Amino acid sequence: MTRIHLSKADVSVLEETLVLEALRSGWVAPLGPMVDRFEAEVAQRVGVEHALALSSGTAALHLALLHHGAGPGTVVVLPSMTFAATANAVLYTGAEPVFVDSRLDDANLDVELTLEAVDELAAQGREVSCVLSVDLFGRSADYQALMPALAQRGIPLVEDAAEALGATHHGKGAGSFGTAAALSFNGNKIMTTSGGGMLLSNDGDLIDRARYLSTQARQPAPWYEHTEMGFNYRLSNILAAIGVGQLSRLDEMIARRRAHRQQYADALGALPGVRFLGRGDGLSDSEDNCWLTCMVLAPDSPVSANDVIAGLEAADIEARHLWKPMHMQPLYAKSRMFAGGVSESLFASGITLPSGSALTSADIDHVIDVTSTLIQQ
């Protein structure tokens, strides 16, 4: 059996056809009809007015944070359990990241701790430029609780929905919360452009300013005129063509990942000391795009997450730990953290299982067989 990857890109003949169409159009540049079409279709899918196709989700976060005044002397509050890109975008601006802990049930940010952090920082005279939420592993954070509480305090929200395209929260699409949101189209995401991202917002001025900054802040002059620093952040027309094709297949790919999770839960969920992140205690997969399926072992489990991941690797199956919390990373070891025990525990006991939409039911059965043996040995 060939190696089973965690989340390999699922590309079809449709994307090949659209890339060829883009190449033959002559628009081999970071603008063109495929970029315009991709932006319009993503905005419609998510339910926002404007979208800006960029070279990465990190670029989208950077531009969103700049819009909210993140910079030296300010603070951005964000969850510790996330990929480094979320926190690195804060460093790009010169602002100070302040981390908060996760919920135990789905690993998303703890709203109560987030508000505690905002209030304490404000009481200390710190300027909180915004809260940066993360929709972890394909599930939205609790925006019903977070958004009104931040609005009451006058704190803007930026949503990192890099992992959550296609997910919803009380009927609204992931990427539609806050004043701006970021999507990622990296190769391992629910859909890909091989690399790329998107900035989303209902604020046309925000998108206009970000579009200007993303093209090296070029002034409208007949020559190259620049009055401030910009960035080279645009997505190419060729890569946008892949995105157009992938977006048309998004629901099909979500359905495949959803079926994988159900297959895992049916087979492994009954094992003692095993639970699935985001399931149980009133939570289901109904609004989750099921990007990655994560299993959590009980603290008293006789086998560790390290053991299971190593055993899967020995069987040529790629599995990983949950995100290592940022406050445990050497780069952010001196950053302020509100609580921390939950994300540390989830990191120690969580396992991300192969979830790609191109995997077959037989592939998942093989992962289940190996995992089950490792847990029960």
How far apart CA 82 and CA 102 sit, in angstroms, is 10
Beta-bridge partner residues of 56: none
Contact at 8 Å (CB) between 39 and 198? yes
How far apart CA 22 and CA 24 sit, in angstroms, is 6
Report the phi/psi class of residue 251: left, alpha or beta, with left for phi > 0 and alpha for psi in -120 to 50.
alpha
How far apart CA 60 and CA 66 sit, in angstroms, is 10
| Residue 189 annotated in active site | yes
Beta-bridge partner residues of 181: 159, 200
How far apart CA 152 and CA 196 sit, in angstroms, is 34
Beta-bridge partner residues of 19: none
Catalytic residue among 8, 172, 189, 324: 189
In the chain, how long is the greatest CA-to-CA distance? 71
Exposed e or buried b per residue across 189-225, where buried means at least 16 C-beta atoms within 10 angstroms of its C-beta: bbbbbebbbbbbbeeeebbeebbbbbeeeeeeeeeee
Structure tokens, 369: 């067989």
Using only the alpha carbons of the chain, give its radius of gyration: 21
How far apart CA 110 and CA 116 sit, in angstroms, is 10
Q: CA 17, 21, 27, 32: dihedral to nearest 10 degrees?
A: -80
Catalytic residue numbers?
189
